[in-house]
Amino acid sequence: MPTVTIDGREVEVEVGTNLIEAAKKVGIQIPHYCYHPRLSIVGQCRMCLVKIEGPPKLQTACTTQVMKDGMVVHIDIPEVHKAQEGVMEFLLINHPLDCPICDQAGECGLQDYSFKHGQAFSRFVFEEKRTYPGRERIPLGPSVVLNMNRCIQCTRCIRFTEEISGTGELGFFERGARTEIGVFPGKELDNPLSANVVDICPVGALTSREFRFAERVWYLDKKPSICTGCDVGCNVTAEHRRGAIKRYKPRFNPEVNDYWMCDYGRGTFRRYEELERLGTPAIAENGEQRPATWNDAIDRVHQSISQAPESAELAFLGTGFLTTEEAFLIARLADAAASPHRGVASEEGPTRTIPNLHGGISGSETSPNRRGAELAGLVAGDGGLGAAELMQGDGASRCDFLLVADGDPGSPLHDSEVVARLRQARLLVVMGWASTPLTEVADVVLPTATHAEKDGTFVNCESRLQRFRAAFPSPAGVRPAVEALADLLGRLHPDWRGLSTAQVFDRMAADLPTLAGLTFEELPAHGVELQAPAAVVGGGTPPAEDAHP
Amino acid sequence: MAFEPVLLRNVGKPGVRQVAGYREAGGYKGLEKALGMEPDAVIEEVKASGLRGRGGAGFPAGLKWSFIPKGNDKPKYLVCNADESEPGTFKDRILMEQDPQQLIEGCAICCWAVSANTCYIYIRGEYVEQAEILEEAIRDAYANGILGDDVMGSGFKLDMYVHRGAGAYICGEETGMLESLEGRRGQPRIKPPFPAVVGAFGCPTVINNVETLCNVPHILERGADWYKSIGTDERNTGPKLYCVSGHVEKPGTYEFPIGVTMNQLIDTCGGMWRGAKLKAFIPGGASAAILPAKHADLPLDFDQLAKAGSMLGSAAVIVMDENTDIVRAVHRLAKFFNHESCGQCTPCREGTNWSELVLKKILAGKGNPGDAELILRICRNMGGTTLCALADAAVGPLRSLVQNFPEEIAAWIDNGGAGAEPRRYFAEEVLV
């Protein structure tokens, strides 16, 4: 591999690596706007001009590839600083500088580079900047709004629709200083990935219709999380203010969602706003639910299990929204009750495909973790009732006890016929975060944390185990399911009492050969691909050969 | 010894647009000779002639041809640049409308030399008549076995197409032209790779100007030594068309050995218009720096003009007399570049726009003392920082305004135009 010297630091890179990526390796950021690692290189913004020993003129780092040994690059020299200043000045003269009312402020490439590479005064002394009257707030499609005045013509959005989404709705129109971006006549920026153009837009030209004016970005707490929209398991950043999620943004994971996520997934946090939250445990007496303490509610469940006669049928139904650890605890409960009746409710939904360098990844289930829940042991034993028998058949009517855990809205558990069937169990215990048709008819209701409020792991459609962390704590009165389940299980077997998610995972890893050698705290950032037996964990949709151009 | 026109020798001759008439006038001997030679020998001959590209950059034509990779399975292309859009340039137009067979012959020789079986002539959209003449000439060449499956009985296959542009200066830039030819938005590509390796449709491509290719038949027919004997020195050889416009009595396209002086051109053009004095001239089209009258004795060739800080470019010589307001003339040029910038590179998109605004402000009597310096700084940030040479072209006249004519800009800034001498007319009314 050739070696290149960047500002005196030598770095060895693969043949063909461009200078922006090479510099990253030694911790040097070369400023750029139009360059994006997954988009074709156009060398248009001219922000990445650097001095290469040899050619008389400055060269763009994005278009310069390291092909052989001996290239010497200078970035931190006056000549390059002047060029960067010059480009910044050109970009800013016609930029509206309306940062106080711009959604991008705080995460804006122009702002950041102005501080770093710009100058504090303007020599542009004309009364009027270039504007595009009537094009200040044009909806390009259902997810994206364009303000042409702020555009710096980097064409990232155009190339995204051409090269990543493959839909080609956007183009350059006009020429020179009047150049503008827009949708082609008769088209709309309406594709499953459209909102990614908002993320890659370095300025406030493209903003999200969902997030516009929802929050100033510097008030947002940003925590790594995983999308629950389907079983792809896109890595996301959950951005919230005081426990209210304002948006999801994709978080880079080359093995899963790369830099992208779908528009559907971005909107999934809305369920936390739309549905009524369960605040306190409840116990039904004579058909009427009354608030109860956690201790009483857990006791009630504990007694039902521990005092059940030998002949009683106890069933445990989870969903694909459970974390693997929660599912594992429920499976342990079922073990304690010596019950073979267990299953995971899940449902096929539309196929959602995210492009990545491995040909794309497609998921078609509506919940993120059916595979993990099954791996953890929520699979019916010999002669046991599974999810299908409980939900579609008359399995529940044979049950003395049925625990249903964590069904998100949209889950098949809330279909009125399913609710009626499940209700036939003599005692119905429901854990979940939202008030749903099922919690309304339950005998015991246990309010638990949303996925943004808990730690855990999911196993995605390609059997990749990924960890996520709580973005913020649960509201008062609500407990993470792991805590509640450990409490319950602890009353049966004291050594389970008070276990954290990480401890539960580590016990699970000791139990399951598939997870052998893994520990919660040391799971790799990009997840682990599990070598799972196909019978337990589905293989996922094989990636299409040429799904990614 | 009087100079015998070479490129324009057939101008006005009846029937030369047809193959028969062109042959009668001595044509197609160069192609015949070339087809009897090895392609490499043709390239060597053109190299030896010292022919440099006539489109503006002056790159040696033979060298360019030799960059076409050999032993490459991909088809090769010749694209003839007939997008003559540099303001003040009207030489290719004469060549195409007066002697289209000469161009076809030149293209055919080039195609033979680089083993290209397809040639596109990319002609600017406004040249409607010339495009029709070319198409007619190409039809006649097909009918007479000059083009088609068996060029002049040699077994060499050559197809030629006329492709009309849609009106953009930037499509005269070679990679912008390729984009346009392929049906995309005309904007220059990143180089490298150069068109000789990855050109039209991803294949090796030679791009030459009309005038360059029109020189080729004569080099083959009469030899590189004869060709080299014309011109100022061995780096500046051959006949050259000069497009003279502006304040001369008889503007037009004139053929001279390369390296004629401004004074000689003015004499040939019947002197300055209404006998006025020469103030300045642009030697090579809108992109070239404006030179003051003191350079009128400079040989107009590639190297001498470069030394003087300007360039031969397309040899579009724009003559400005003493009544010309240079600031207004440069403003008009800045307006042109602002209009024609493709918009992809930041410095060009914003710099051409800004520089026009500064000049407009100065001309509105609102100039500031720092404006000359500001223009230079815009030039510094624009020049050499972009994908293609359009920004450098825009810098040419701007920088020369400040450096060669500081008193003109100072007069506008100091007196808001009020104290400037009364002007009978302005360059922008003369430039078409």
- Asked if A325 and A259 sit in the same domain, the reply is no
- Asked if B163 and B23 sit in the same domain, the reply is yes
- Asked if B298 and B342 sit in the same domain, the reply is no
Domain count for chain B, please give it: 3
- Asked if A141 and A62 sit in the same domain, the reply is no
- Asked if B291 and B373 sit in the same domain, the reply is no
Q: What is the CATH number of the domain that holds A61?
A: 3.10.20.740
Contact between residue A153 and residue A181 where contact means Cβ atoms under 8 Å apart: yes
Q: For residue range A127-172, what is the model confidence (pLDDT) as tens digits?
A: 688 999 999 999 999 999 999 999 999 999 999 999 999 999 999 9
* A490 Cβ under 8 Å from any chain B Cβ: no
Q: What SS3 state is found at A311? A: coil
Interchain contact, B350 vs A90, CB within 8 Å: yes
Q: Which of B289, B321, B353 is the last residue of a domain?
A: B321
Closest residue to B381, CB basis, from A63, A86, A152: A86
Interchain contact, B346 vs A125, CB within 8 Å: no
* A87 Cβ under 8 Å from any chain B Cβ: yes
- Asked if B289 and B354 sit in the same domain, the reply is no
Interchain contact, A90 vs B354, CB within 8 Å: yes
Q: Which of residues 170-209 of B touch A (CB under 8 A)?
A: 170, 185, 190
* B380 Cβ under 8 Å from any chain A Cβ: yes
pLDDT in tens, chain B (432 residues): 478 999 999 999 999 999 999 999 999 999 999 999 999 999 999 999 999 999 989 999 999 999 999 888 999 999 999 999 999 999 999 999 999 999 999 999 999 999 999 999 999 999 999 999 999 999 999 999 999 999 999 999 999 999 999 989 999 999 999 999 999 999 999 999 999 999 999 999 999 999 999 999 999 999 999 999 999 999 999 999 999 999 999 999 999 999 999 999 999 999 999 999 999 999 999 999 999 999 999 999 999 999 999 999 999 999 999 989 999 999 999 999 999 999 999 999 999 999 999 999 999 888 998 999 999 999 999 999 999 999 999 999 999 999 999 999 999 988 776 545 555 555 555 554
- Asked if B159 and B289 sit in the same domain, the reply is no
Is the pTM above the cut of 0.90? yes
What share of chain B in percent tops pLDDT 90? Answer: 91
Interface test with B, best of A63, A65, A67, A90 (most B CBs within 10 A): A90
Q: Which residues lie across from A288 on neighbouring strands?
A: A285
Give which of B424, B419, B432 is closest to B323, Cα–Cα: B424
Neighbours of B10 (CB within 10 A): 21
- Asked if B115 and B210 sit in the same domain, the reply is yes
In a domain, B14, yes or no: no
> B-chain residues within 8 Å CB-CB of A172?
185, 343-344
Q: Which of B179, B198, B229 is the last residue of a domain?
A: B229
Q: What SS3 state is found at A344? A: strand
> Strands, E, within B83-185: which ranges?
118-123, 159-164
Q: Which of B267, B293, B321 is the last residue of a domain?
A: B321
> A-chain residues within 8 Å CB-CB of B338?
176-177
Q: What is the CATH number of the domain that holds A225?
A: 3.30.70.20
Domain hosting residue A25, numbered range: 3-76
Domain hosting residue B168, numbered range: 19-229
Domain count for chain A, please give it: 3
In a domain, B408, yes or no: yes
Q: How close does chain B come to A169, measured CA to CA in Å?
A: 15
Query: At CA A243, angle to CA A242 and CA A244, rounded to 5?
Result: 100
* A127 Cβ under 8 Å from any chain B Cβ: no
Q: How close does chain B come to A102, measured CA to CA in Å?
A: 22
Sheet holding A464-468, edge to edge: A456-459, A464-468, A528-529
- Asked if A269 and A307 sit in the same domain, the reply is no
Q: What is the CATH number of the domain that holds A341?
A: 3.40.50.740
- Asked if A231 and A173 sit in the same domain, the reply is yes
- Asked if A268 and A297 sit in the same domain, the reply is no
Interchain contact, B384 vs A126, CB within 8 Å: no
Please give the interface size between A and B, counted as residue pairs whose CB atoms are below 8 Å apart.
94
Could you give the residue ranges of the DSSP H alpha helices within A191-308? 196-200, 263-266, 271-274, 294-306
Q: For residue range B170-197, what is the model confidence (pLDDT) as tens digits?
A: 999 999 999 999 999 999 999 999 999 9
Interchain contact, B354 vs A93, CB within 8 Å: yes
In a domain, B7, yes or no: no
In a domain, B30, yes or no: yes
- Asked if A341 and A202 sit in the same domain, the reply is no
- Asked if A269 and A214 sit in the same domain, the reply is yes
CA-based nearest residue in chain B for residue A48: B385
